[in-house]
Amino acid sequence: MSSLEISSSCFNQETKLPLSPPLVEGSAFEPLEKDVNEVEEKPKDIIKFTAEKLSVDEVSQLVTSPLCGAISLFVGTTRNNFEGKKVISLEYEAYLPMAENEVRKICSVLRQKWPVRHIAVFHRLGLVPVSEASIIIAVSSAHRAASLEAVSYAIDTLKAKVPIWKKEMYEESSSSWKRNKECFWATSD
């Protein structure tokens, strides 16, 4: 027999594996009291503006659901350069009542367009050093396409409609307030 024949014959052998481990009384493998389909879970929109450092793990956990097979995330971080200048940090300000209201509207639109379960939008305010997150958007859904599309729509719409301002702090002690080019109220120069 040639090595090719040996390899192909190995694939023809039937291998029997248990579908699940045997149950042992008191083990972690015992069936849950309630069937997963019986879980009633109200969809959540979690919105937070904070001066505290953002945690991807925390935000991801907030949208986790046994009903969902997908969690999509967008994490915006401070990069160390802009147009040849060395950036040392960003500073964010927001008009909170309007910003929160606009983010709620975005969540509502996401729910109209895609079958999503939970949505979390966390935005940092104040100084955000290089490599730290300034925004985390997390969306959970039964399947990946809905959460991926929803996250993309959410960040694009947030940048266009939510009153958040960003100031870039440069190494040479200068700074510059930046407007989002997507912002609907921005005028073209």
What is the DSSP code (8-state) at residue 50?
E
The sign one gets for the Cα dihedral 175, 82, 180, 45 is negative
Instruction: Give the residue from 145, 118, 129, 130 showing the smallest Cα distance to 59.
Output: 118
Residue 159 assigned to a binding site: yes
Residue 14 assigned to a binding site: no
Residue 111 assigned to a binding site: no
Tokens of 167: 């100031």
- Residue in the block written with tokens 């997390």: 138
Residue 144 assigned to a binding site: yes
The answer to whether 143 touches 69, Cβ cutoff 8 Å, is: yes
Residue 178 assigned to a binding site: no
Residue 100 assigned to a binding site: no
The CB density around residue 55, as the number of other CB atoms within 10 Å, is 12
Tokens of 51: 């001066």
Annotated binding-site positions: 143-144, 159, 166-168
Annotated binding-site positions for substrate: 143-144, 159, 166-168
